[in-house]
Amino acid sequence: MRYALSFASEYLKNIYVNRTRQSIKTVHVVSSALKATSTWHGMRTLQECREACGGQGLKTENHVGHLKSEFDVQLTFEGDNYVLMQQISKALLKEILVAKRRNKPVKGLGLARAGPSSAQAIIPSHLTSSALRTAQFQTDIFYLRERDLLHRFETEVSQREARGESMEHIFTVTYQIAEDLGRAFSDRLVLQTFLDVVATVPAGSLKDVLGLLRSMYTTIVMEEDASFLRYGYLSTDNAAVVRKEVLKLCSEVRPHALALVTSFGIPDALLGPIAFNWIDANAWSSVSDNDTLKDNDTVFSFFTNML
Ligand SMILES: Cc1cc2nc3c(=O)[nH]c(=O)nc-3n(C[C@H](O)[C@H](O)[C@H](O)COP(=O)(O)OP(=O)(O)OC[C@H]3O[C@@H](n4cnc5c(N)ncnc54)[C@H](O)[C@@H]3O)c2cc1C
């Protein structure tokens, strides 16, 4: 996931640096998508790390708790993530409505392929591990979800508008589908930038590992986002295949995990003892001159003597 989001962030930096008056809307929508997706991902990662490290995840010197409390605000400030999802959906809706009014094909915000005129993607009724790992299937299902949700959102908004409801009321009562659509746009955008990056890498072991990471990203999104089941893009049988594939991919990525993490180049000074030899770090010889521990020891002796 972090690799996928890093590629997408590079894309955002690029379109921001080369922005024009025409592209500024795209910069706004893409940054809304990536701000929300990255910060939600950051919080979930920290929680996952906390639990995966057991009690060590709660030790101050391992930084997880501190980072969680520091990071949490990012889900809200600079635009609440749910509100950003709604902004994305409104921008997509506007894009479709303007194209319809002008009787022209929809082009902006990556909708050219996701627009209603594009061919319907065929999702196999019995997914296999190899089908799940193809870029074609991954692209098809992500675009299918985005296109279908956009169609549903547009239909609901126009039906309510025809009944004379105010736009303010309409956007309040359609927030659930707007959120699903915002997420579908963000996930498709991230996948598209991943594919664009991998296309520039020559055949070899790096491309193979990136292929594994791309499959891991797409299967985790499919497994965790309820919209794939809710709207029927995945049958329950296919959802079970996706879930099993996540486990297989984890074991295939495992031998590369340390190299992948090291490649981010995070300085040792920023890491807690859990990133190194945590057994040594917890040995009595390492902690016996720790004042806090001595204090704790005194407190412990005090209560033991009382019993
Ligand atoms: C540490 C910190 C620093 C900040 N710095 C700045 C700053 O420098 N400049 C600045 O201008 N602002 C700043 N803010 C304000 C920040 O931008 C707002 O807190 C943020 O936009 C959320 O708005 P809110 O607090 O009014 O929450 P609300 O918008 O009331 O959100 C509360 C809850 O309601 C939900 N909600 C809100 N609207 C909808 C909707 N339409 N549909 C569905 N659910 C909805 C949200 O998802 C959220 O769960 C800062 C905030 C913090 C905490």
DSSP state of 106: -
Q: Are residues 201 and 281 in the same domain?
A: no
pLDDT for the residue 294: 53
Give, for ligand 1, the residue of 40, 70, 76 to mutate: max count of ligand atoms closer than 8 Å to Cβ: 76
Residue 124 shares a structural domain with residue 175: yes
User: Among 160-169, 205-214, 281-290, where is mean pLDDT lowest?
Assistant: 281-290
Domain with 120 in it: what CATH number? 1.20.140.10
Q: Are residues 258 and 281 in the same domain?
A: no
Same domain, 186 and 250: yes
Task: Judge whether 227 and 149 are in contact, CB under 8 Å.
Answer: yes
- Rounded Cα gap, residues 181 and 184, in angstroms: 5
Same structural domain, 113 and 201: yes
Q: Which residue has the tokens 């193809």?
A: 134
Q: Do both 288 and 199 map to the same domain?
A: no
Same domain, 247 and 290: no
pLDDT value, residue 2: 86
The verdict on 207 and 235 lying in the same domain is yes
Same domain, 66 and 91: yes
Give the number of the atom of ligand 1 that is nearest the alpha carbon of residue 81.
47
| Alpha-carbon gap, residue 40 to 19, rounded angstroms | 26
Residues lining ligand 1, Cβ inside 6 A: 73, 76-77, 79-80, 82-83, 86, 175
Question: How do residues 32-41 score in pLDDT, each as one tens digit?
Answer: 999 999 999 9
> Would you state the pLDDT for residue 118?
45
Domain identity same for 190 and 47? yes
pLDDT (tens digit, 9 = 90+) per residue, 201-211? 999 999 999 99
- The pLDDT value recorded for residue 287 is 75
Going by CA atoms, what residue is nearest to atom 33 of ligand 1?
80
Ligand 1 atom 29 nearest Cα: 80
CA 217, CA 246: separation in Å to the nearest integer? 9
| Residue-wise pLDDT tens digits, 234-277 | 999 999 999 999 999 999 999 999 999 999 999 998 888 998 88
Q: State in Å: Cα 231 to ligand 1 middle.
A: 30
What is the per-residue pLDDT across 24-72, written as a single tens digit (0 to 9) for each? Answer: 999 999 999 999 999 999 999 999 999 999 999 999 999 999 999 999 9
Q: What is the domain range of residue 295?
A: 277-306
Pocket test for ligand 1, best of 32, 39, 73, 83 (most atoms within 8 A of CB): 83
Is residue 299's pLDDT more than 50? no
Number of domains in the chain: 2
pLDDT value at 117 more than 50: no
Plot region of 204 (φ>0 → left; ψ -120 to 50 → alpha; else → beta): left
Q: Which residues of 272-287 are buried (b: 16+ CB within 10 A; e: fewer)?
A: bbbeeeeeebeeeeee
How far apart are the CA of 74 and the centre of ligand 1, in A? Answer: 10
Find all residues with CB under 8 Å of 206, minimum gap 6, and list them: none
pLDDT surpasses 90 at 197: yes
Neighbours of 194 (CB within 10 A): 25
Do 260 and 292 lie in a common domain? Answer: no
- Mark whether 236 and 302 lie in a shared domain: no
Q: 160: CA distance to ligand 1 center in Å?
A: 28
Nearest to 156 by CA among 176, 142, 136, 141: 176
